[in-house]
Amino acid sequence: MSKVSERDVVMIALFAALIAVLGLVPKLTLASGIPITAQTLGIMLCGTVLGAWRGAAAAALFCLLTLLGLPLLAGGRGGLGVLMTPWAGFFVGFPIAAFVTGLVMERMRALPVAAGAAAGSVFGGIVALYVFALAWYMLAKPAGLGEAVTVAALPFIPGDLIKAVLAALVTQALAKARPGALPSRG
Amino acid sequence: MSEIRLERAAYGVNGREILCPLTLTLDERRIGVVGRNGSGKSTLARLLAGLIAPTGGAVMVGGDDLFADRKAALARVGILFQNPDHQIIFPTCGEEVSFGLVQQGRNDAEAAARAAMAEIGKAHWWDRPVGTLSGGQRHLLCLVSVLAMAPEWLILDEPFAGLDIPTTRALHARLAALPQRVVMISHDPEALEGFDRVIWLEAGAVAADGPASEVLARFRAAMEGEGDDLTDLAG
Amino acid sequence: MISLTSPVETVFHRWPAGLKLALLCVAGTGLFMLASLAGQLVALALVAAFYTLPGMRFARAGLAALRPVALFAALIAAWHVATGTLAEGAVIVLRLLSAVALANLVTMTTRLADMLAVLHWLTAPLRRIGLNTRPPELAISLVIRFIPVLSEKGAALAESYRARSPRRRAGWRIAAPLAGLALDDADHVAEALRARGGLSEGARK
Ligand SMILES: Nc1ncnc2c1ncn2[C@@H]1O[C@H](COP(=O)(O)OP(=O)(O)OP(=O)(O)O)[C@@H](O)[C@H]1O
Ligand SMILES: [Mg+2]
C-alpha cells in the first residue's frame, strides 16, 4: 500500500456516502418477508470498483459514522444499538466483505469485469460476510450452528444473490462508461 | 516575500505536451496571464499552486516545492479555480470558508471566517446552503475562502467571469488594495491594465512577456486579427 | 445531516460522551452475563425508567427507535417456540431489548460532535506513535458532506429515469450512473482539497 493520496481519501468518502444513499433506494420485500435493500449492493460495489483496501476503508467509514449516530442504515437505522443484536456481524462484517470482494476482483484480472465482479461479490459479499456474521451470531446470542443458519442466513441468501448479480452488472456498466476508471483494476 | 521560480517546468498528459518547458521568475506584485481558450493558462495556475507536479523541470515558491509540501503551500499560495463548483467542498457557506482556516491550524478559524464574510457584506450567508447561491455568488464565496487564508500569492483564474458590473467593480477595488502578490488570468485585457507584468501564453508556450501596456496592445491586435473560425482552438 | 440525537434535552445530554460510552460497555457486558429471567426483567424495567425520566415525548421517540428490533426479536422468539426452549428465549429477547435500548439512549443523547471528540481522544495514542489521523478525520467530514449531495443527485437521476421510462421507480438502476457520478466528482474534490492543504499532517490544532 503506497502513501494515501487526496484522491484515495475522497474516493473512499464518496463510496461510503454511496453505501448510505443506496440504503435510501426503496426496498422490495421478498416472499419470506425479509426486506432487501440496495445497501449490501453498495458494499459489493466498494470492493469491485475501489479494490480491496480502499473498498474496506469505505465500508469501515460507513460503519463508523452509523455507529456514531447517523441514520445511514436502510430504514433510517443507526447508532450504537446496531451493535447489540446478534445480527450485528452482518454490519460489522461490511469492511471484511468489501475487502474480500476487492481482493478477488484484483486477483482475477484475467476474468472479464462482470465475471470478476460477480465472483468477488459472491465470495466477499456472501461467503466471507456470512461466515463472519454466523460466527458472530453464535457467540453473541449464543446459539448453535443449526439455529444460526436457519435464523440468520437462509432468509437473506436469495436477496444477496440478486445483489451479487446487480453488482456485476453495475460494475460492468461503469467499466464500459469510464474505461480505465476502476481503481480495482487500475 | 517569496518569489515563484519555474525552471524548465513542463506539463504533459499521456504524452501530449500541454505546457512547453517554461523558465520564469515571478516576483512582481501584479502579474496578468492572457491567452486563448486551451492555451494552458489554467494548467499553469495549477502548477503554480502545487496542485499538479510538473512532468519535467521544477516549480519552486520561496524555495519550497508546493506539490510535495502542502503545509507550506497554504501560507504561500491560494488559488481561485476557474469553475467554482470544482472548488467548493462543503454544503454551507460558513463551513466552506472556515475549512481552509482550520486546515491552516488556526484556533480562531470560525471567527476569522465570519469576519472575512462580513468584510464583503455577506455575514448573512453563514448558514446558507451553497446550492442556493447563483453562479456568480459561488465565485464570490470561493474568493472569500481564499482571501481569508491570507496567502502570500493569490492565483486567480478568471475571477470576474460571471460577476455583474457592480460586483466586478467592488472586487476590482478590493483586489487592487490587497497587499498580496497576484497572478490573474483574464480574457479581458482591461482587467489587467496597470499590472506590472503580463504573460501571453499561446499553445502552452510564452508568446510575449513584459510590461502590461506593451503585451496587452500586441495581444489585442492579434485577437482582433484572428478569424471567426473555431477549428484552430487548441486541443 | 440529520443525526439520531434527540431534540428533547435530557440530563443525559449533559453527561460526558466518554463516560456514557464507558457505562454502556459495562452495562452491555453485565447484561450478557446475567442469565436469570428475573434479573433481565429488572434490567429492562430500569432501562424503561431511564427513558421515562425525561418525559413521555422522549420515551415515545425511544420506543420508535426500538421498532426495527421487533423483527429480530420475533425471529428469535419463533426459533425458541419451535424448539420448546421458552425460558432461554425469554432471557435472550429481554436482553436484546435492554441492550439495544441502552445503546440507543447513548446515541439519542450524544451529539455527533461529541462522539467525534471521543474518537479523536481515543486515537491520540496513534498520533503519539507518529501516525497521521488527519485523513480518516477528513474523510468523516467529507462523507457527511457527500451524503446529501449524492442523494440529491440520486433523486435527480431517478426523476430523469422516470421521465423516459414506463416504470414508476428507478430503484437499483440508478446505482451505476450514481457510482459514475461519484467517480467523476472524486477528481474535482481531491484537487479542491489539495488547494487547501490536503492531508497535511498536524495542520489541525
Ligand atoms: N486532465 C487533462 N487531460 C487532458 N488534457 C487536458 C487536461 N487538462 C487540460 N487539458 C488540455 O490542456 C490544454 C490547456 O488547458 P487549460 O485548461 O490550461 O486551458 P486554459 O488556457 O485555461 O483555457 P480556458 O481559457 O478555456 O480556460 C487544453 O487543450 C486542454 O484540452
Ligand atoms: Mg482555464
pLDDT confidence of residue A167: 92
Q: Which residues line ligand 1 (CB under 6 A)?
A: B 13, 18, 35, 37-43, 82, 234-235
B47, B64, B89, B143, best to mutate vs chain C, most C CBs in 10 Å:
B89
pLDDT confidence of residue C169: 64
Q: Tens digit of pLDDT per residue, chain B (235 long)?
A: 689 999 999 999 888 899 999 999 999 999 999 999 999 999 999 999 988 999 999 999 988 888 888 888 888 999 999 888 888 888 789 988 998 898 888 889 899 999 999 988 899 999 888 878 888 888 889 989 999 999 999 999 998 887 888 888 888 888 888 889 999 999 888 889 889 999 999 999 999 999 999 999 999 988 887 655 555 555 5
Residue nearest atom 8 of ligand 1, based on CA coordinates: B43
Distance from CA of C57 to the nearest CA of A (A): 19
Contacts of A40 (CB under 8 A, 6+ apart): A97, A125, A129, A160, A163
Residue nearest atom 14 of ligand 1, based on CA coordinates: B40
In sequence order, the β-bridge partners of residue B13 are: B16
State what percent of residues in chain C have pLDDT above 90.
34
Taking an 8 Å cut-off on Cβ atoms, the answer to whether A86 and C182 are in contact is no
Residue nearest atom 2 of ligand 1, based on CA coordinates: B13
Q: Does B168 touch chain C (CB under 8 A)?
A: no
Mean pLDDT in residue range C63-86? 88
pLDDT confidence of residue C185: 83
Taking an 8 Å cut-off on Cβ atoms, the answer to whether C186 and A65 are in contact is no
* Residues around the ion ligand 2 (C-beta < 5 A): B 42, 82
10-residue averages of pLDDT along chain A (186 residues): 79 94 68 64 94 96 93 83 89 96 93 93 95 93 88 85 91 85 80
Distance from CA of C76 to the nearest CA of B (A): 43
Q: Does B36 touch chain C (CB under 8 A)?
A: no
Q: Does B108 touch chain C (CB under 8 A)?
A: no
pLDDT confidence of residue B233: 55
pLDDT confidence of residue C121: 92
H/E stretch holding B224 reads helix B212-225
Position with higher pLDDT, A32 vs C23: C23
Q: Which of B16, B37, B43, B185 to mutate to test the pocket of ligand 1 (most atoms within 8 A of CB)?
A: B43
Give the three cell numbers for residue B166: 457592480
Contacts of B103 (CB under 8 A, 6+ apart): B74, C196, C197, C200, C203, C204
Measured CA to CA, the distance from residue B105 to residue B108 in angstroms comes to: 9
Going from the C-alpha of A62 to that of each of A108, A158, A163, C134, the distances in angstroms are 26, 24, 19, 17
pLDDT confidence of residue A29: 54
Indicate the fold that domain A6-185 takes in CATH.
Answer: Arp2/3 complex 21 kDa subunit ARPC3 (1.10.1760)
Going from the C-alpha of C76 to that of each of A9, A74, A136, A157, C91, the distances in angstroms are 40, 21, 15, 18, 11
| pTM listed for this prediction | 0.80
pLDDT confidence of residue A56: 97
Mean pLDDT in residue range C161-178? 72
Give residue limits of the domains in chain A.
6-185
Residue nearest atom 27 of ligand 1, based on CA coordinates: B37
